[in-house]
Structure 1
Amino acid sequence: MRNSKWQQQFDLPPLFWLIALIALINSISFTIIIPLLYPYAQQFGLNDLQASLLTTAFALSQFFGTPVLGKLSDRLGRKYILVFSLAGTMIANLLASVANVAWLLYAARILDGLTGGNTSVASAVISDITTPSQRPKAFGIFGAIFRLGFVIGPVLSYLAQELPTLPGISPLGMSFLVSAAIAFFAALLTLLFLPETTAQQQDFSLKWDDFAFGKIAKSATRPRLGSLFILTFLTGSTFTIFTFAFQPFFLKVLNQTDQQLAIMFALVGILGFVSQIFALEPLSKRFNLINIIAVSLALRGITFLLMPSFPTYTAFVLILIIFGLVNAFPMPLIDTTISLNTNNQEQGEILGINSSFLSMANALGPVISGLLVSIDYTTPLWITGVLTILVAVFAYSLKSQFKCSKSTTAI
């Protein structure tokens, strides 16, 4: 009986767990460097705004690279595009680990961004192998497993800095080296064990249309899906403004240390993992997905406003716990809604376009945040809090267009 309940709870194809494992390893590789970028930038003599541009360089490059990789995965198959993407991450982090001038560090981030569309390709694999009724659960678990990397990555980042250094590589550079090794392992695992999942692969033909990024802008006006692309952009922009701004707020307003900052990253990762595993599936069964997105965004915005309202360490931790629990919901549910309203032949391309909107948001948010931080450390939190609540209102306005739940497809 207990085994039967377990099987019902996780009734997903075996191949899903392989792609989830690959995603976890990839997530660890990515999140190892998140706590490093700011101090590593200072090691190269970069100021706060220049440091934020490292994130922008990655995200902007990913904006251009992701739709191409998504389209190519529809044509050539998911497996080898995923291997190519992971190999790009490996090479980029190797380059960053040995960089001795700032432009080389920027080049590494650009390369990683151009080849960094592996999450959208992995999402397309999930769409290939799951039924519409399985997708909310699959994307929820996938997001939770990916988020688990946000727990493991920062911990490994600091452990890697304790390793004996190699010639020409600093302690921070050692973390990039470990990240490269993990990306290599993920690529090898994909190459050896992941079968191709696309039903019909097309002949290779790379046309200018694949690079027609004006089509991405036009996608914002696409019937039905366009509003979800806009929602992705707005959700990502407000979140990345917060992500960059909360670090100097935590370090300089609350007078905490880098090590405590890493603990905060791990705490958010743990809470997000738990909420996606245990809360997302029951909620998606009971409520419209758009309703969950709107409520979670509203709560996220409220936590942004509470942080500068109560600038103490204890209050910050309590508020961050609420943030960590609700922060896990918006993006996986937006991905699920898009997938449920897209035909199978376009899954890779559409999810790639959506990832590009997120990359565009990731490029814009840190720059805005960097400029606002120069005014005051609390200003970005106030602004992004109000904006996030407005995004929640926009999300709720889409309710009549997308009545998607676990048991429905496009309605």
Structure 2
Amino acid sequence: MKKGLWILAVICVINSMGFGIVVPLLYSYGKKFGVTSETLGLLTAAFSIAQFFATPLLGSLSDRWGRKPVLVISLIGTCISFILFAQARSIIMLFAARILDGLTGGNISVAQAMVTDVSSPDDRAKNFGILSSSFGFGFVAGPALGGLLSKYGMHVPFYFAAGIALIGVLLTIFALKETHCKSGEQQAYKFSFVSLATILKKKTIGVSIFISFLLTMAQFAMIVGFQTFTTDELKLSPAQTGVFYAGFGITGIIMQLLVPFFTKICSSKSIILLFSTLICLGAMIVAGLATGLILFATAVGIYGLFNGLRNPMLNAIIADKTGSHEQGKILGINQSYISIGQTLGPITAGFVTAISLHSIFFLASLYILVAFALSFKLKRQEC
């Protein structure tokens, strides 16, 4: 079990690194095909919308067919999408590549389901922390690697990302064992897209998914504020902003690795979530009030640290309340709402920039405040 978890962590690093390599280059690479700042938003949204519908379906299929086949399909789709990007001759091919990556982008939810399969309830938060830190490391390392490779040609990072996705496929096939034992009930299970809406009515699970959605919107709204504030207000160079943002990502990884420390002190995952959400709320308000680098960096650093507890706690709570026959489906739906949160967060942040740069952080604070209030409901349901 432990060996399988670390192999899965390596696969997650490989997968997220490929994503991290490519995403920062989408605009500069796509400009020669007619991508503008407006169509870049559509290009990003195309991935998220495709992922919203496909991820729970792939998660459901992993409940029926097993985790390995679906993980292999997802990684192959990612590999092909990167090759399409490298071979693109028009903006249509760019959209086709992003949609394909979104449609086969079920690897996160399938990886989470595999962690659930091999973890006891007491170990789930810790193991989800390892998984989240693996994805986080790839997202932090990917952009730096992509920038380095782009010096040899703008298409080179995409081929490299395709190559490491292929390594992920081979590792999954030859080194990763199947974790899911199928039963007659699981074989007969069929997924319905209606569950994307009805899931929110489920006690504990629905509340957890909606909290995850709100906190994701807050994070990605904050990222827009971070980019504009450091550039326009603090006058940092792109290189300095990149280092600053990498530091933000590293704080989250550190906290995810410290999950066992928190679960040892407090066995209640909902209380840890309440505590971390309260700290994030205070840090985001301070970021909105900051006018200088030191106070802003301190607030963002504290937010990055405690925001790192979000996914391990919420994923563990969801997994604890989900039957083994639908782990992939439920975690897939959760990932679907996360992908929409990643889209709506920046969009809503864009609307409030007309007020002031600081208003973005207060908008993110509002999302966190609602999530904090719902966390009390989650705590009552846990009892």
Among residues 128, 138, 145, which one is paired with 1:149 in the alignment? 138
Among residues 272, 275, 280, which one is paired with 2:259 in the alignment? 280
CA distance in 2, matches of 1:104, 1:378: 38
- Partner residue of 1:73? 62
Moved more, 361-370 or 178-187: 361-370
- Partner residue of 1:340? 320
| Aligned residue type for 2:174 | L
CA distance in 2, matches of 1:206, 1:37: 41
Q: Deviations over 1:41-69 (max 9, x none)?
A: 55655444432333222111111000110
- What percentage of aligned pairs have identical amino acids? 34
Superposed displacement of residue 377, structure 1: 3.1
CA distance in 2, matches of 1:31, 1:356: 19
Q: 1:303 to 1:33 in 2, by over 3 A?
A: farther
Q: Deviations over 1:55-91 (max 9, x none)?
A: 2221111110001100111111111110110111111
- Partner residue of 1:32? 21
Q: 1:100 to 1:157 in 2, by over 3 A?
A: same
Superposed displacement of residue 228, structure 1: 1.4
**Does structure 2 conserve the Cα–Cα contact (< 8 Å) formed by 1:27 and 1:153?**
yes
Q: Within the alignment, does 1:51 sit opposite 2:31 as a pair?
A: no
Secondary structure of the equivalent of 2:201? coil
CA RMSD of aligned residues (A): 2.4
Q: 1:99 to 1:115 in 2, by over 3 A?
A: same
Among residues 361, 377, 381, which one is paired with 1:397 in the alignment? 377
Where does structure 1 lack aligned partners over 5 or more consecutive residues? 1-11, 166-170, 404-411
Moved more, 45-54 or 292-301: 45-54
Among residues 86, 90, 95, which one is paired with 1:97 in the alignment? 86
Q: Within the alignment, does 1:297 sit opposite 2:277 as a pair?
A: yes
Moved more, 82-91 or 346-355: 346-355
- Partner residue of 1:224? 204
Structure 2 counterparts to residues 61-140 of structure 1, below 5 A: 61-140=50-129
CA distance in 2, matches of 1:191, 1:382: 46
- Partner residue of 1:406? none
Q: Within the alignment, does 1:262 sit opposite 2:242 as a pair?
A: yes
Among residues 253, 268, 276, which one is paired with 2:233 in the alignment? 253
Q: Within the alignment, does 1:367 sit opposite 2:347 as a pair?
A: yes
CA distance in 1, matches of 2:368, 2:19: 25
Moved more, 67-76 or 106-115: 106-115
Superposed displacement of residue 38, structure 1: 4.7
**Does structure 1 conserve the Cα–Cα contact (< 8 Å) formed by 2:63 and 2:186?**
no
**Does structure 1 conserve the Cα–Cα contact (< 8 Å) formed by 2:207 and 2:374?**
no
Where does structure 2 lack aligned partners over 5 or more consecutive residues? none
| Aligned residue type for 2:334 | N
CA distance in 1, matches of 2:287, 2:28: 24
Q: 1:126 to 1:316 in 2, by over 3 A?
A: same
Q: 1:368 to 1:206 in 2, by over 3 A?
A: farther
Among residues 157, 161, 177, which one is paired with 2:159 in the alignment? 177
**Does structure 1 conserve the Cα–Cα contact (< 8 Å) formed by 2:284 and 2:364?**
yes
Q: Within the alignment, does 1:188 sit opposite 2:167 as a pair?
A: no
- Partner residue of 1:13? 2
| Aligned residue type for 2:99 | I
Q: Deviations over 1:244-275 (max 9, x none)?
A: 33223322332223222321232122212222
Secondary structure of the equivalent of 1:200? coil
- Partner residue of 1:384? 364
